[in-house]
Amino acid sequence: MKRIISLLILLTSLSVITYAAIGTWRTYMAYGEIQEIAEASEEVFVLNSGNLFSYNPNDGGITEYNKVNGLSDVRMSHISWNKSSQRLVAIYANSNIDIISEGAEVTNLSDIYDKTMTDDKTIFSIYNYGQYAYLSIGFGIIKLNVKSNEVSATYNLGQAVTQTAISNSIIYARLKDGNVLSAPLSSNLLDKAVWQPTTSYDPSIFNIDTKDWDKWYPTISTLQLDAPRYNNFGFMKMYGGRLYTCGGGCTQAADMMRPGTIQVMEHDGRWTFFEDHIDTITGYSFVDINCLDIDPQQPAHVFAGGRTGIYEFLDGHFVKAYTNDNSPLQTASTVPHNNKNYVVTQAVKFDDGGDLWCFNSIAPSQSLISYNCEQHKWTSYHHLQLMYDKTRSLENVSSMILSHDNQLWFCNDYWRTPSLYRYNPTTDDLTSYTRFVNEDGSVLTLSGVKCMAEDKDGNMWVGTNAGPLLLTPEEMDKPNPVFEQVKVPRQDGSGLADYLLNGVSITAIAIDGSGRKWFASETNGVYLISEDNYNQIYHFTRTTSPLLSDNIESLVINDESGEVFFGTDAGLCSFVSDATRPEEELSKDKVWAYPNPVSPEYTGLITIVGLTLNAQVKITTPTGVVVAEGISNGGTFTWDGTDRNGRRVASGVYSVLVSTESADDGVVCKVAVIK
């Protein structure tokens, strides 16, 4: 099957625009490790950290290739330039294939990826011979006609081939065990019997061609790409217009010892990185950082936690590590005593007074702890309710948040004790939610409580493997609270309803400026649900959108721009939504429109931001005729540039008249339209 897409080119740099048009998708791919280099006619292709870019040596320009601007997949594993066809063969880890021309046309060949088979489909290497590319695969060899963009032949040899070579009209296949098969090119290569073991060959035919690497690595390695270093985004937080991210890892779903890393996207789109070679200072591992928070008294002051304790940073520089010998934190009871590699602290949160709260998981006799930064004082608030048994505290406490009434909430994402907790720092009262019963009296069987978010009405939305649950303020203090599974009417005349996202494992939740709920899932991508909970506005998956993967590990919203970030197991991408955080008051300095002016070729939405909740908006011509009006979505209003009859408006300067919901205040901004 073929799919041809014109690739949109991002020239000269990988930087981003602060405010993009609504509906825009972006990727933020890592370029931390050069893997393969392929020289083309006028540019050099580089496979870096599973992602692709090209470098133009004539002007120094860099072009990023990704799923948003044309590639068919993620996690690229091999590249090779086919000189005869003047095209790049790009192989993905899942055996999907893209063929890319220097003119940026991408053809997807998904034959191998789509084919259902029990054979190993791993592609180990690419060998070019004329207009053909021979792919060494887990069951034999695939012959691609790169010029015509098609699979020419499949040679199923019944065993893994790691390298292919052709010499003197003989084709050679090096097997995974080191033995070699050969056959005359003129023979019927589809017949497995013609492939015979051989020792009569020049071993140098299998030497990997390094001329492109040797020629270009010194230059490529010095390029300054404004991008993340790692594709790991297990935790994200927006603060002060910056996107703070941690790698994540060391959970029941991803126990993979991810590098300890904190990557920050600044206001202008630049990426900065916290000091990360901390293991050379502490003498123990710096891996699996799962959470962080920013000191409200000093925003440059950041604490992060994970598998190996808590780390303090100032202006991105390491200050101190807190572990089992300089704090109340304890080594996990499942490993030898004093092992600093397992001081599990996967939840941290500052309160409004500047005290840091954290949870020490799997600890023998510790759980909830606070740290006063000014006094450098640790205090334990240990509760027996926070113990799984006499030997360990709850195994995987995460997603610690502070509610509007300064209550500390956290959850345990572990199958033995899936649970939710509310703690009052003022009274030391702890409320445990360990039994989950819905409004129909059904007891829900949960394997973990994964996340939570509070909406503007004080409801707590809880993400579980059974789907999202809703805990209202009225139920929070009851001895047997009811967790509502919102019922969505089928609207088919049956009078029946279904539970909202029933059975979808929810990994992250965010509430946008208009009260809508973004639900991230473990295997089903991302959902946007309306404020009234009854309508599905979006369902993004990797096959229906540029979303990089259906496994979403983290999700966060930039309330100023409406950009929603999705931290997937394949990297970071985002979608610019049509809702921002509403302002408390209308201000002329905060209300503005973009793009402005609106160029003749622009066909997207014109966006007005800086509005109050449910603000009334009217757009008028220079003569005062109303061409559009409506209510803001959170702090945003969008206009498609047409009048009430759907016709594109004429050139001119249009007034945007904004008033509050009660119409007791108003401001005006201008939008210039060029037709």
pLDDT tens figures, 444-457 = 999 999 999 999 99
* The two structure tokens encoding residue 636: 């945003």
> Is the separation of the CB atoms in 331 and 345 below 8 Å?
no
Is the domain spanning 2-220 CATH 3.40.50.720? The answer is no
Give the DSSP letter of residue 385.
Answer: G
Q: How many CB atoms within 10 Å of residue 266?
A: 12
Spatial contact of 3 and 585, defined as CB atoms under 8 Å apart: no
Which pLDDT band holds residue 33 (cuts at 50, 70, 90)? very high
| Single-letter amino acid code for the residue at 624 | G
* Closest-CA residue to 602 (of 649, 560, 559): 649
Third-level CATH fold of 592-673? Immunoglobulin-like (2.60.40)
- CA torsion sign for 153, 154, 157, 163 is positive
- 4-8, 170-174, 378-382: least confidently modelled range: 4-8
Q: For residue 131, which amino acid is it?
A: Q
- How many Cβ atoms from other residues are within 10 Å of residue 498's Cβ? 12
pLDDT tops 60 at residue 4: no
Q: Which of 394-398, 571-575, 586-590 has the lowest mean pLDDT?
A: 586-590
CATH number corresponding to 228-402: 2.130.10.10
Encode pLDDT of 608-649 as tens digits: 999 999 999 999 999 999 999 999 999 999 999 999 999 999
Tokens of 46: 């580089």
DSSP bridge partners of 289: 306
pTM, two decimal places: 0.91
CB distance 639 to 611 below 8 Å: no
Higher pLDDT, 179 or 584: 179
| Cis-peptide into 218, omega within 30 deg | no
Q: pLDDT for 152-198, tens place per residue?
A: 999 999 999 999 999 999 999 999 999 999 999 999 999 999 999 99
Which residues in the chain are classed under CATH 2.130.10.10? 2-220, 228-402
Q: What is the secondary structure of 647-660 as a DSSP string?
A: PBPPSEEEEEEEE-
> Measured between alpha carbons, how far is 443 from 465 in angstroms, rounded to an integer?
14
Instruction: Write out the residue limits of the CATH 2.60.40.1930 domain(s) in the chain.
Output: 592-673
Phi, psi at residue 141, to the nearest 5°? -135, 135
Tokens 């500052």 label which residue? 350
pLDDT, tens digit (0-9, with 9 covering 90-100), for 476-514: 999 999 999 999 999 888 989 999 999 999 999 999 999
Q: Which residues pair with 573 in a beta bridge?
A: 27, 566
Portion of the chain with pLDDT greater than 70, in percent: 96
Torsion angle in degrees (nearest 10) through CA of 170, 174, 175, 177: 140
Element (H, E) at 111: helix 111-114
The count of other CB atoms within 10 Å of the CB of residue 218 is: 8
Distance separating alpha carbons of residues 548 and 67, to the nearest angstrom: 7
Here the tokens at position 45 are 């292709």
Q: Please report where in the chains the tokens 């060494």 appear, as a residue.
A: 136
